[in-house]
Amino acid sequence: MTKKLDLKLDHITVVARTLDEGADHIRQTLGIDMPQGGAHPAMGTHNRLLSLGESSFLELIAVDPQATAPDRPRWFDLNRFDGRPLLATWVLGTDDIRTALPTAHPDSGKPTQITRGDLSWLISVPENGFMPLDGAFPTLIEWPDGPHPASRMTDLGCRLQSLSISHPDAETIDIWIGDRLDRTYITIWNGPKAISAEIETPNGMKVLC
């Protein structure tokens, strides 16, 4: 019997060709200068991070031009990405990624250990770097025990109010999630692939997509 509410919204991820280009997009959309994050040596990427509360956040990620290229495709399909900054996917937290992944989308990949500074965690990364259902199907993450990393991030007063995920194969997402996630402010529906988030900011309600 599936344990209810064993998944939780962890963060949403914007991909960009460069962090500067992505930061400009966030600034124009939310009116916020995203704080610095760190680097992921295993993937050759770096990020910026914005708290959305004690246990959720917004991530901006791009290829790190100063890093050694990894010997595998980068995550979040960044090897192929060449467009405007985009809210590309959403990430669900789990206490046991090795148990959760076998029932997830078959293209979700394997639990992969990633580090950023002194922080280490497990996350689902497909071997080809592509995201299942082009990012509409969530990535899974398992943080180590202790306070959620968002609690250590700069809080500029932004809060996620709603998240909308559209995909022609939305039923696949819907069936897998079932009643395992608090979906009070999450909508999953059939349509062209698109992800959008309503975020309350000090500058009012903004839509990020």
pLDDT (tens digit per residue) in 174-188: 999 999 999 999 999
Q: Does the pLDDT at position 1 exceed 60?
A: no
Average pLDDT over residues 86-110: 97
Evaluate whether residue 180 is within a structural domain: no
Q: What is the CATH classification number for the domain harbouring 51? A: 3.10.180.10
Q: Where are the alpha helices (DSSP H) in the chain?
A: 19-30, 97-100, 170-177
pTM (predicted TM-score) = 0.96
Evaluate whether residue 18 is within a structural domain: yes
Tell me which amino acid residue 22 is: G
Give the model's confidence band at 164: pLDDT under 50 very low, under 70 low, under 90 confident, else very high.
Answer: very high
Please, what is the average pLDDT of the chain? 96
- The residue range of the domain holding 64 is 8-154
Distance CA 132, CA 49 (A): 23
Evaluate whether residue 78 is within a structural domain: yes
Evaluate whether residue 137 is within a structural domain: yes
Distance CA 124, CA 98 (A): 9
Evaluate whether residue 15 is within a structural domain: yes
What's the confidence (pLDDT) of residue 5? 78
Evaluate whether residue 198 is within a structural domain: no
Evaluate whether residue 33 is within a structural domain: yes
The contacts of residue 127 (CB under 8 Å, 6+ apart) are 72, 73, 109, 110
Chain segment 103-138, per-residue pLDDT in tens: 999 999 999 999 999 999 999 999 999 999 999 999
Q: What total of structural domains would you count in the chain? A: 1
Evaluate whether residue 29 is within a structural domain: yes
Distance CA 7, CA 52 (A): 18
